[in-house]
Amino acid sequence: MTRVVFAGTPAFAVESLRALLAAGVEPIAVVTQPDRPAGRGKKITASAVKQFSEERGLPIWQPDTLKSAESQQHLKDLNADLLIVVAYGQILPQLVLDLPRIGCINVHASVLPRWRGAAPIQAAILAGDATSGISLMRMEAGLDTGPVLASAELTIGKAETAGELHDRLARLGGELLVNKLESIVSGVLLPQAQDERCATYAEKIQSSAARIDWQQSAEDIDRSVRAYNPLPGAWTTLENRRLKVWKAEAVAGHAAKAGTVLAANAAGIDVACGTGALRVLELQRAGRKRVSAAEMAAQFDLIGQSLADE
């Protein structure tokens, strides 16, 4: 029986763990990040993987770091054959990568070498990629640079948000992992080196990056709205207060200063862009709940106002 240790933290990782259990593979330990403050109240909250593991009665280990001698000795004592890593949240030192007999496998949310790094799902939507996917990668010291064992693609929907794509990729990751696990363990599946010439990098998303630049084309802004939904949420300003845009679409628009509200009615709120216009369909004022643009248009005189104020 293969001794598997699973390392993961957010909801994305839960689907791979769920798939392993459904296939009869029960990890000897689940490694996840320590409980952290979360939400507006900063309440100490367990990770999605910890919550799922507690429900299933799996042994949980939450080290502060895997770089300490104590943590490395504990992992060594587990005598794992295989370490499966899915969005764990820490860079693993070489000593840890060398411990499992079979090695360390990562489930990554892109078809490598495209979109290495922390935010491959958002990056794919921002770039207007037609497809995304999952890679099973043999881990090495570099960031997502290891050879690929298997991959699977799916088409990105024209109106798909990062949250929706995240959920589909999470399920695909679990399916691919389970389908290829036996071949990985037996050594039949041989890793293929990545083509460094095709590598791209997806940096961690900052809230400042989600601010809408109305000088961009309506198509680019539409992709930003979808890429930053649900986190951190694309935003702009109205009367110097933050306004989040949750749903929109690109439409034709007449020439006007970028960021100017051109129309506000039951169809939505049309805002001038560098090229074309963005029809806002759902939005949220600071401290308020989400509402339809039609509802906000009925309550406020928006035509001619600017959403590009500093």
The per-residue pLDDT for range 32-48, each reduced to its tens digit, is 999 999 877 788 999 99
**Distance (Å, rounded) from C-alpha 79 to C-alpha 230?**
39
Mean pLDDT of 73-100: 96
The CATH superfamily holding the domain 4-202 is Formyl transferase, N-terminal domain (3.40.50.170)
Q: Residue 250 above 70 pLDDT?
A: yes
Q: What is the pTM of this model?
A: 0.95
Model confidence at 142, pLDDT cuts 50, 70, 90, reads confident
Within a 10 A sphere around the Cβ of 304, how many other Cβ atoms? 10
CATH architecture for the domain at 207-299? Roll (3.10)
Torsion 222-224-226-232 (CA) sign? negative
**Are both 4-202 and 207-299 of the same fold?**
no
CA angle in degrees (0–180, nearest 5) for 257-258-263: 85
Domain residue ranges in the chain: 4-202, 207-299
The tokens for 112 are 């490598």
